[in-house]
């Protein structure tokens, strides 16, 4: 018999957290992580910088919103990927709310020792079930990038890159850059 004293976490629980942490509701559990470490933040910022000019600001290939740590309220979850992107044809304008209810076309998780297990074993399956088309996993400690494409509801590994390999990966294959641009 279920314990009536136990309650599922709500968005109010996230709002009550201290400012120096990130809260997510994943599979009915409140997950709390510290803000990203400097190497993690640098990698995320550098990737956003690589993609912003050609895809969000540029004319060609253009047509994307690329955002750092957007809060997603989707499928009963509250998720905060390190980066996410929406094709402007699917989301012509940014929402007025502080969160997004439209599933992104692409997400990127920058792996950290404290979050890699959840990113891989819980968030990736959720992203797949929601219909996110592309997922990238970057490890700033190991200097690796894995790119995935959703195929028939499952993630298909497209590329596994390391160190200073050249990146040209879906959905941003029109732009290439050295993976080493993401490391300090």
Which CATH number covers residue 47?
3.90.1570.10
Q: How many domains does the chain contain in total? A: 1
pLDDT, position 57: 80
Provide the residue-wise pLDDT of the chain in tens; the chain has 184 residues: 455 567 889 999 999 999 989 999 999 999 999 888 899 999 999 999 999 988 988 666 779 999 999 999 999 999 999 999 999 999 999 999 999 999 999 999 999 998 999 999 999 999 999 999 999 999 999 999 999 999 999 999 999 999 999 999 999 999 999 999 999 8
Asked whether the beta carbons of 134 and 108 are under 8 A apart, the reply is: no
Query: Does any domain span residue 169?
Result: yes
Q: Which residue in 155, 151, 148 sits closest to 170, CA to CA?
A: 148
Query: Does any domain span residue 9?
Result: no
Query: Does any domain span residue 6?
Result: no
pLDDT, position 184: 84
d(CA 138, CA 147): 9
pLDDT, position 1: 46
d(CA 123, CA 113): 15
Tokens of 162: 């390391």
pLDDT, position 2: 54
Burial class (CB in 10 A: 0-12, 13-18, 19+), 156: exposed
Burial class (CB in 10 A: 0-12, 13-18, 19+), 69: middle
Query: Does any domain span residue 17?
Result: no
pLDDT, position 145: 98
Q: Show the domain range for 57.
A: 37-182
pLDDT, position 176: 94
Positive or negative: CA dihedral 78, 82, 87, 93: positive
SS3 state at 13: helix
């Amino acid at each position: 018999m279920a314990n009536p004293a136990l309650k599922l976490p709500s968005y109010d629980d996230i709002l009550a957290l201290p400012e120096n942490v990130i809260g997510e509701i994943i599979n009915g559990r409140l997950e709390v992580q510290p803000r990203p470490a400097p190497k993690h933040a640098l990698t995320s910022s550098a990737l956003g910088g690589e993609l912003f000019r050609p895809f969000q600001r540029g004319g060609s290939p253009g047509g994307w919103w690329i955002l750092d740590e957007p809060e997603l309220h989707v499928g009963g979850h509250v998720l905060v990927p390190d980066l996410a992107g929406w094709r402007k044809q699917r989301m012509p304008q940014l929402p007025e709310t502080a969160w997004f209810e439209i599933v992104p076309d692409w997400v990127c998780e920058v792996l950290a020792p404290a979050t890699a297990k959840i990113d891989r074993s819980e968030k990736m399956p959720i992203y797949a079930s929601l219909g996110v088309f592309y997922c990238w996993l970057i490890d700033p400690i190991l200097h690796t990038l894995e790119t995935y494409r959703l195929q028939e509801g499952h993630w298909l590994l497209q590329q596994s890159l390391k160190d200073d390999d050249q990146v040209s990966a879906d959905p941003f294959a029109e732009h290439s850059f050295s993976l080493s641009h993401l490391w300090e």
